[in-house]
Structures are given as structure tokens and as C-alpha cells.
Amino acid sequence: MTRRDKGSSPLVPRVAASRLSRYLRHLEELEARGESTTSSQQLGGALGVTAAQVRKDLGYFGQFGFPGLGYKIPNLIPDIRRVLGMERTWNVALVGIGNLGNALLRYKGFQAHGFRLVALFDASPRIVGRTIEGMKVHAVEQAARVVEEKGVELAILAVPASAAQEVASRLVAAGIRGIYNFAPVNLSLPEHVAYVSIDLSLELEQLAFLVSHRNRELAHRSSQETAGSGP
């Protein structure tokens, strides 16, 4: 996914921090299979990076392994969760209850990984005031009151690009500290506010490029093999 973030530490490369989530998911899979230890080589092999890269990534945040023993999975999982800020539950607001918003609202993975949807917002008079999944949908103009009442710190933005900046600014004024933006537009926000933008069409373009590139490679390899097997 394309990620544009603000507010991350200049001492830790953003790509290294993002790989932590991938390490965590794999470690959780290993733990579910009954594994108790792993190594940087095994972690790297599973995620397509080198063992040296795994050690370097984890080294930004502390010393987690044991020489000759590798990593103890039951210890490393909570350590990474702590680094990611996942030792606690985060209250989240969802803004925009359209097709995408409804899909996100019903996604069960948020709660499983420490994110609790506690507030819903929309601009449509047809939706504001309704109760969905046990939560009342509020007008965006009520953000300041609702954010304070619900203790919301993060927001998911699933609104049209034309409305994204105005809505984001209103959320920041209400006290939101982090925004996950699905609108295909760059946001202009204060330095103290972190945000991540996901442009789904851009991701599909990158996927199309990778498939096309792979097809060209295979076609080139096939033509070389055919030429090499001639009479």
C-alpha cells in the first residue's frame, strides 16, 4: 500500500517501522502453530528480506534476540506490539458511511488488533441520526463534542476527495491525532498530526505494472529458451 506519513521519528526509517507489522503477523501465525522460537533467517525468509535486514529493523528499537537461540516468540510478540503502540486499545472514529465506510465498519480485524470503532460520522442527512452496528451516526459538525466524549484519538477517512481536506481539518481541530485517509488526495495537516494515505487506484496501477513486467520477463525467457533449442 502507498503510505504517506507525518510525525514519524527521523531516526527510524518509515519502511523499517512498517515491516514490524509484517513481522508481528508472521510471529502470531508461528505462535498459533505452537512454535516457541524463530530466527532472523527464518523471519527474513518468510517475508522476503535478508536476515541482516531483520536484525537491523529490530535493532532500531532494542535488543530482542538471544545469541545462538534466536528470538523467543512469546517475548517478541508483546515487544513488537509495544513498539507499535499496540499494548493498549485505540478509540477510532469512522468518517464516511458509504460503500467503503460500510465495509470498513463491518471489518472484524480492527478489534482483534487493538482498534475499537467508537464513533461514526457522515455528511448525508439520510444517514446522520441512524444507528448502525450499535453506534449513532453523527454529523461531522459535531466532531469536537463526540471526539471528546468518546476519547477518540484516530480517525479513518472514507470520504470523497473533494471533501477530505475540510473534514480532516475539522477532525484535527476536534483533537484527532492520527488520520488514516482513503481519499486519493494529499492532506495538509499540522506537524503534530500523523497520517497515512491509501490510494487504492494507485495500488492497482502498481499491481498491473508488476503483472505486466512479470509477463514480459516470462515471454523473454521463453523466447530465449526457444532460440536455444533450435536445430
pLDDT at 7: 42
Query: Over 80: is that where the pLDDT of 11 sits?
Result: no
Measure the CA–CA gap between 59 and 48, rounded to whole angstroms: 18
Provide the grid cell at 30. 508461528
Q: Which domains does the chain have, with CATH numbers?
A: 14-83 (1.10.10.10), 90-198 (3.40.50.720)
Percent of residues, the chain, with pLDDT higher than 70: 90
Rounded Cα distance between 26 and 43, Å, is 8
pLDDT of residue 219: 76
Per-residue pLDDT tens over the stretch 146-184: 999 999 999 999 999 999 999 999 999 999 999 999 998
- pLDDT over 80 at 222, yes or no: no
Which long-range contacts (C-beta less than 8 Å, at least 24 apart) are formed by 7-11?
Answer: 7/191, 7/192, 7/193, 7/194, 8/194, 11/60
Alpha carbon 223 to its chain's center: 41
Average pLDDT score, the chain: 87
**227 is written with which cell numbers?**
532460440
Paired strand residues for 136? 131
Q: How far apart are CA 9 and CA 64, in angstroms?
A: 20
